Amino acid sequence: MNTVTSTATARHDLIEAQETRRERQRITDMLALVAERVPVQRRVVHAGDAIYRSGDAFTHLYLQNTGCCKVVNSAADGRAQMVGLLFRGDWLGFDGIAGGRFRCDAVALDTGEVWALRYDALVAACAEHPPLMALLHAEMSRVIGRDRDALMALTTLSADARVAEFLRLVAHALDSRGLRNDQITLRMTRAEIGNYLGLTLESVSRALSRLARAQLIGFADGARREIRIPDVSALADFVGHDGAGVALQ
């Protein structure tokens, strides 16, 4: 690696570290402000527990304090589509505001704590404290941006790049919350990951194998649920080059 490349890499790593620290602080400050201004009902959930179900009356918004959960949209004919994977500091339930009922299921993927906030109490607190209103609007905007980025990935990336981007986003989410990100535990089955990414189970399995052969990831257990990520930026580089036709063999 020459001096110019080394300097550019170091600068990139420094910027990423600064952004991660800012994100960690943002989440910490947000949770503190909400807890200070709004009555919070704390609930411990375990894998498989429903936080709310589609059709339930909308009375609360929810905040993931620890752990992670999935959001699943179900059609009238029984089809189900996973549409969100949420971590500490993520809000749940915005879809229920307009119609007065939740339109998705939110289900815990591991043991964690969820905060329930009565929507009327939250609105009243926002009226009394404008910074809280600004925070709520920022979170709604963040959800819109996340959904837009997910749609972009689904419509423009190859199967291998979709899986790589999924792993990168999980690693980034963990790092932004002060958790280990060089080895992650997949809380979702291959079928669930495929459903989320618009891929078959077989396509997800093949993509993981190709990423492993390319040494972008590794498997830390026989069940292949523990994924080692030696260099998250290498996953990002692979996703970035996907549009140029770079493919794994």
Domain with CATH 2.60.120.10 in the chain: 3-143
For residues 193 and 74, give the distance between their C-alpha atoms in angstroms, rounded to a whole number.
16
Residue 183, helix vs strand vs coil: strand
Q: Are 117 and 38 in contact (CB under 8 A)?
A: yes
Mean of the per-residue pLDDT values for the chain? 90
Non-local (6+) Cβ contacts of 236 within 8 A are 168
β-pair partners for 117? 61
13 falls in which pLDDT band (50, 70, 90)?
A: low
Domain with CATH 1.10.10.10 in the chain: 157-242
Q: Is the pLDDT of residue 248 over 60?
A: no
Q: Are 51 and 84 in contact (CB under 8 A)?
A: no
For residues 229 and 232, give the distance between their C-alpha atoms in angstroms, rounded to a whole number.
6
Sheet holding 112-118, edge to edge: 41-45, 112-118, 60-66, 91-92
Q: Is the pLDDT of residue 1 over 70?
A: no
Q: Are 193 and 204 in contact (CB under 8 A)?
A: yes
Residue 60, helix vs strand vs coil: strand
For residues 199 and 215, give the distance between their C-alpha atoms in angstroms, rounded to a whole number.
22
* Fold (CATH) for 157-242: Arc Repressor Mutant, subunit A (1.10.10)
Residue 39, helix vs strand vs coil: coil
Q: Residue 8 has what pLDDT? A: 55
Sequential DSSP letters for 196-212: HHT--HHHHHHHHHHHH
pLDDT per position as a tens digit, 22-39: 999 999 999 999 999 999
Sheet holding 226-228, edge to edge: 183-185, 226-228, 218-219
pLDDT per position as a tens digit, 100-139: 999 999 999 999 999 999 999 999 999 999 999 999 999 9
193 falls in which pLDDT band (50, 70, 90)?
A: very high
Helix (H) or strand (E) holding 85: strand 80-86
Q: Are 71 and 127 in contact (CB under 8 A)?
A: no
pLDDT per position as a tens digit, 31-90: 999 999 999 999 999 999 999 999 999 999 999 999 999 999 988 788 889 999 999 999
Architecture in CATH for domain 3-143? Sandwich (2.60)
Q: Residue 243 has what pLDDT? A: 45
